[in-house]
Amino acid sequence: MSTDTTNSSSSSSTAAQQILTTLGAGSGIDIFKMSRDLTDVEKLPKQEKINENIAATEAQISAYGLVSYQLAVLKQSFEGLNDANEMATNTSASTNATAASFSSLDGTAQVGSYDVTVKTLANGQQTKSDEYSSKTAQINGGAAFNLVLSTGVNGVDSSPQIIAVSTATPQGVVNAINAGDYGVTANLVDTGTAGANYRIILSGTSGTANAFSVATSSIDGGATPDLGFGDTGTAAEYVVPFSGSDITGAQSSNTFTFTVGSKTATVQLHGDHDSDPSNSDQALYTGHDDSTLLTAISNALTAAGITEYTASSYSATGPTVNGFKFTATAKAAVTSAPTATVDGSAVSVSELVAGVTENTMQSASDAEITFNGLTITRATNTINDLVPGAVLSINQVTETDSASNPVRLSISSDTSSLKIKVEQLVSDYNDFNGLMAELQSSSTDEDNEMMGALRRDSATVRYIQSQLRDAFLADADNADGSSDPLYSSSTKGLRDIGVSMDKNGNLTFDEDEYDTAITNNYENIVTMLTANTTNQSLYSTDNKGLAQNIATVLEGLTDDDGVLMTRNANAESAKEDYADELAALETRYEAVYDRYLAQFSAMESMMESMNGTKEYLEGQLESLSKAYDNN
């Protein structure tokens, strides 16, 4: 209560004094301005000192930010030199890119030419199920069952995978397979056949070793369905008989034909043996067991484009049948049987074996190529282990009689990108060095507020410059040419590729020295900079090359616990302390101002009282004087 009363009295007194001063009462002096001036005489020098400290600290904080940024730029330049595959720009060419090409190259790809012949492509097995009327058609009477998936050569696996099918429908089978990582994916395909629209299609990974087979087993002794995945199919076989042991009675017009659809193979059975017009034409073959006749039939099939069947000799007893067997090349049901004629008359074509469709649509196979004359097999059509730093992709079998077979692949290298990167890092370092000189300068520049921003922290500047100078002038790890055969004694550090440091701390680049080094020691330079590594973990204890060593030093300077962040945190803390000190100063001198004002207000009140007494006495004296004058 007393404090409030005092403040109220002080405020009333101050307000009254302002009125008196305004009316010219009291001494007539502006005690408010005088109180403020006296206060400012003491406060302003201290306030200006604190504000100077705040400004200098803020400049330091900005300077630390600039240094961190420039170090990050420099670090990025060296990180562009720390991977072996970034040292050069490689390009490739192919005489038949449709069949084979290098789909990916890095800077380590071996320059040269390579001949490739593609014999077979790698394929993944594709197998279909029996047909189902809908996605939700019941399988196994709706009872759950297991799929038994075996993966390996010919689908034989000593440890098959068991896949539980809880929803016994085509869609349920697909979902069960795709729910796990079994090396096989499933799709449900609508074939568009009315009444039997859906088949389950299983697709495996390419390569013979990834062939698979699928069986079923019961759950708790329940029923076991046959999904049709194991149907191996049967190739159709047809027999065309020849009467008797030979065909010597054939006439000059005697021919044999075999027709499949619109394609007909024709074999002449009677003709001129010796080109002597005086000799009559004779039978060209002795009978069905004449091997030359079988050859003629096979050639005729090829000439007619009949690839659906192959021919072979056939003999059987009970009843005796001699002739030729035509076997389908595909395991599938035959919708239209072939026909045959002899001398224009139809002959019987007997079905020996009915064709049954195979549910394996595509067998798993390896890719087979010849690479510079060496036969190579791989499980995939993308091959990354033939040419270091290059990925070979094969997409098409090359014809042995093709003008573009073998495919000629070539790799060429352009090292100009490395030179550009070295020149850039020299420029980036010199920009950094110029910035550091500016920040620690003792001069001032009205147009550059950052000039000398770190002159009060020269120790940090010297430390950073020392760290970088040591890193730049260092040798690569084990670069003595003896303890590690990867390094050459003539290529140890940046100085060996034309990069050196002058007396002002700036880097210089000798282009002629660089060109000579690249021409004579390119591989050693790559090793020196990268240790022949690409994307190596920073946590690895193995050598990483000089470029990454320097990048690591740069990163250490800008880390959260590095010198720059530590100094920046200290500066931020100092700035807060200065702000608190400024606020305390303001509070302290406001109290001084109030004290001056109170003292001058008391003086003004005294002066006002004395002026009142003066005026009273003057009035009394004037009254007495008038009284005497009247007398």
pLDDT digits (tens, 9 = 90+) for 126-142: 999 988 989 999 999 99
Is the domain of 101 the same as that of 206?
no
Residues 113 and 128 in one domain: no
Which position has the higher pLDDT, 57 or 278? 57
Structure tokens at 451: 């000039």
Domain count, the chain: 5
CA distance 365 to 121: 7
Three-state DSSP state, 365 = strand
* Angstrom distance (rounded) from CA 487 to CA 99: 40
18 and 133 fall within a common domain: no
- Domain range for 476 is 70-85+416-565
Q: Which of 64-73, 229-238, 359-368, 620-629 has the lowest mean pLDDT?
A: 620-629
* Average pLDDT over every residue of 591-600: 84
In a domain, 117, yes or no: yes
Let me know if residue 598 belongs to a domain: yes
Q: Which of 147-156, 251-260, 435-444, 542-551 has the lowest mean pLDDT?
A: 251-260
Query: 169, 184, 218: which is the final residue of a domain?
Result: 218
602 pLDDT above the threshold of 50: yes
Q: What are the tens digits of pLDDT across the range 21-35?
A: 554 555 667 888 888
pLDDT, average across residues 515-537: 85
Tell me: do 316 and 181 sit in the same domain: no
pLDDT of residue 26: 53
CA distance 629 to 532: 125
Q: Both 407 and 351 in a single domain? A: no
pLDDT at 338: 95
Task: Tell me, rounded to whole angstroms, the distance of Cα 75 from its chain centroid.
Answer: 21
| pLDDT over 60 (residue 183) | yes
Is 574 a domain residue? Answer: no
Residue 1 belongs to a domain: no
pTM over 0.85: no
Which of 218, 249, 274 terminates a domain? The answer is 218
Better-scored residue on pLDDT, 2 or 271: 271
**pLDDT tier at 86, thresholds 50, 70, 90:** confident
pLDDT of residue 433: 92
| Least confident range of 88-97, 412-421, 439-448, 548-557 | 439-448
In a domain, 381, yes or no: yes
Q: Are 257 and 341 in contact (CB under 8 A)?
A: yes
CA 627 to CA 621: how far, in whole Å?
A: 10
The verdict on 406 and 446 lying in the same domain is: no
Kindly tell me if the per-residue pLDDT of 399 is higher than 80. Answer: no
Does residue 137 sit in helix, strand or coil?
coil
526 and 448 within one domain:
yes
Residues 547, 602, single domain; the answer is: no
For range 423-434, the mean pLDDT: 93
Q: Are residues 451 and 522 in the same domain?
A: yes
Compute the average pLDDT of residues 522-535. Answer: 85
Token pair 């502006």 in the structure block, residue: 30
pLDDT exceeds 50 at position 483: no
265/390 same-domain check = no
Distance from the Cα of residue 133 to its chain's centroid: 44
Band (342; pLDDT cuts 50, 70, 90): confident
Per the domain annotation, does 225 fall within a domain? no
Higher pLDDT, 506 or 274: 506
Mean pLDDT of the chain: 84
Banded pLDDT at 3 (limits 50, 70, 90): very low
Residues 74, 45 share a domain: no
Extract the tokens encoding 3.
């404090």
Give the CATH number for residue 194. 2.60.40
Q: Are 120 and 379 in contact (CB under 8 A)?
A: no
Residue 450 and residue 391 in one domain: no
Q: Helix (H, G, I), strand (E, B), or coil: what is residue 590?
A: helix
- The mean per-residue pLDDT over the stretch 372-380 comes to 95
Please state the rounded mean pLDDT for residues 335-354: 89
| The pLDDT of residue 196 | 67
CB 406 within 8 A of CB 413: no
> Would you state the structure tokens that stand for residue 322, as one six-digit string?
């001699």
DSSP letter for each residue of 216-236: EEESTT------STT---BEE
Mean per-residue pLDDT for 250-272? Answer: 80
Q: Residue 454: its pLDDT value, please?
A: 85
Q: What is the mean pLDDT of residues 55-79?
A: 88
Share of the chain above pLDDT 90, in %: 40
Whether 502 maps to a domain, the answer reads yes
Inside any domain, residue 571: no
